[in-house]
Amino acid sequence: MQDFLLISPDLAWPFALALAWIVGEFAHRLIRVPRISSYGIVGFFLASGQSGFLPSVDSGAIMLLANIAFGLILFELGCRINLRWLRTNPWLGVTSLVEASATFAAVFLVARWFDMPLIPSLLLSSLAMATSPAGVLRVVNEQRSSGQVTERILHLSAFNCVLAVFTFKAVVGLWVFQSTGDILHALWNSLIVLLVSAMIGGIFGVAVPSLLKKLGNRGHDATVAFAIAVIILVVLTHTLQFSPVPAALAFGLMARHRRIALSQAQQNFGALGNMLTVLLFVFMAATLEWPMVMAGAGLALVLMVVRFAVKTACIVAFARLSGITSRKGLLTGMALTPLSAFVILLLEQTRHLGIGLMDQMAALAAITLMLEIIGPIATQWALVLAKEVPDTTGT
């Protein structure tokens, strides 16, 4: 077996996906664990750093596929975001700004208290702002939940992701400026990349629905068209070294708000999306290494508690003002626990800049692993407790 795999390491990935899928299905049916939690566990154990079943994840093709998977999820999230809601309920925007910035501040203080250097502390804090949109959206779709907690976690996670990418890029810009003294290079690598990426996504958001309308693709399933567009968008931004994250999100947002054609795409992009999700979550966890996880475990636990407490407290504080009960506010905070998918991809993107962040931040590896597994479970429980999940035992 060992020899066989050595001859053909390319075989390892398909087998890893199969295994992750099987474990995910069984765990979901037997103990109702969200599937993505299982994918993470399988990915972590199969990783080159652990059992060594999977080849090193530096391989470009898998990375690109993971980015595509993430792009599809972000596009779907973008389609579910109603920016008009910020205007009709300003307290939602306030909640989002407060919870994201308070998370940033709290995590920064803790990191500094643990003697982490300035730039890594800032980067860690900006990453901690974001709730994994992939984790949240997958659980929402898997549970078929609907209600205020569901709506709010989707919106809050999209907003805090944008805020996190923005802050992250600003910090990277700061770092580039500090180490090179080149302000243009700094700006280019941070905010301009972000804006241009979002613009490219926006152009797709206008072009694709227009094309569908020209085709007279009325009321028909537009899944394939949107999927191909997302793949092109991700590959394009990836190759040009822009950021696929804001691009895919902007694509979804624009496609929704222009509403040129109200064509429906299948949830999760159907079978294709489901398959890529398995890959994404296996990939995420496979980038982590046990020694680093152990080294960062202490700080990670503290950070996890602080992040949870701050996010929840902020949302509860504005719950009534924004039109929900404090209980639902609490559950919304709880559901925002997942963190992960996002972090790894952002870090991978900064690799070409020569910031070896993952190596400096063992805590990040630990928190990522924990939250990739625990996060979706927290989201699922929050949705169940909020009674937003259909009762499958009854009628």
The angle subtended at Cα 167 by Cα 73 and Cα 310, nearest 5°, is 85
Smallest gap from residue 54 Cβ to other proteins (A):
36
Q: Which is nearer to other proteins, 172 or 389 (CB)?
A: 389
Q: Does 322 participate in binding other proteins (rule CB under 8 A)? A: yes
* Number of residues that this document lists for the chain: 395
Report the Cα–Cα distance between both ends of the chain, in Å, rounded. Answer: 49
Angle between helices 341-350 and 118-129 (to 10 degrees): 140
For residue 176, the one-letter residue type is V
Q: Does 148 participate in binding other proteins (rule CB under 8 A)? A: yes
Q: Which of 115, 239, 259, 393 binds other proteins (CB under 8 A)?
A: 259
Smallest gap from residue 64 Cβ to other proteins (A):
29
Q: Which is nearer to other proteins, 146 or 241 (CB)?
A: 146
Smallest gap from residue 228 Cβ to other proteins (A):
20
Q: Does 393 participate in binding other proteins (rule CB under 8 A)? A: no
Q: Does 394 participate in binding other proteins (rule CB under 8 A)? A: yes
What is the C-alpha separation between 270 and 281, in angstroms, rounded? 17
Site for other proteins in 191-250 (CB under 8 A): 213, 218-219
Q: Does 258 participate in binding other proteins (rule CB under 8 A)? A: no
Smallest gap from residue 151 Cβ to other proteins (A):
5
Element (H, E) at 300: helix 290-317
Long-range contacts from 47-51, C-beta under 8 angstroms, 24+ separation = 47/285, 47/286, 47/287, 47/288, 47/289, 48/286, 49/288, 49/289, 49/290, 49/291, 50/289, 50/290
Q: Which of 19, 110, 261, 293 binds other proteins (CB under 8 A)?
A: 261
Q: Does 88 participate in binding other proteins (rule CB under 8 A)? A: yes
Token reading at 29: 């049916």
For residue 34, the one-letter residue type is P
For residue 77, the one-letter residue type is L
What is the C-alpha separation between 146 and 256, in angstroms, rounded? 19
Q: Per-residue b/e over 114-124, b at no fewer than 16 CB within 10 Å?
A: eebeebbbbbb
Q: Which is nearer to other proteins, 83 or 184 (CB)?
A: 83
Q: Does 263 participate in binding other proteins (rule CB under 8 A)? A: yes
Q: Which is nearer to other proteins, 14 or 323 (CB)?
A: 323
Q: Which is nearer to other proteins, 213 or 258 (CB)?
A: 213
CA 222 vs. chain centroid, Å, equals 24
Smallest gap from residue 82 Cβ to other proteins (A):
5
Binding mask 90-129 for other proteins (x = CB under 8 A): ----------------------------------------
Q: Which is nearer to other proteins, 155 or 238 (CB)?
A: 155
- The 3-state secondary structure of 128-141, one letter per residue: HHCCCHHHHHHHHH
**Of 193-201, 283-291, 304-312, 322-330, which part binds other proteins (CB under 8 A)?**
322-330
The residues binding other proteins (CB under 8 A) are: 79-82, 85, 88-89, 144, 146-148, 151, 155, 213, 218-219, 256, 259, 261-264, 322-325, 328, 387-388, 390-391, 394-395
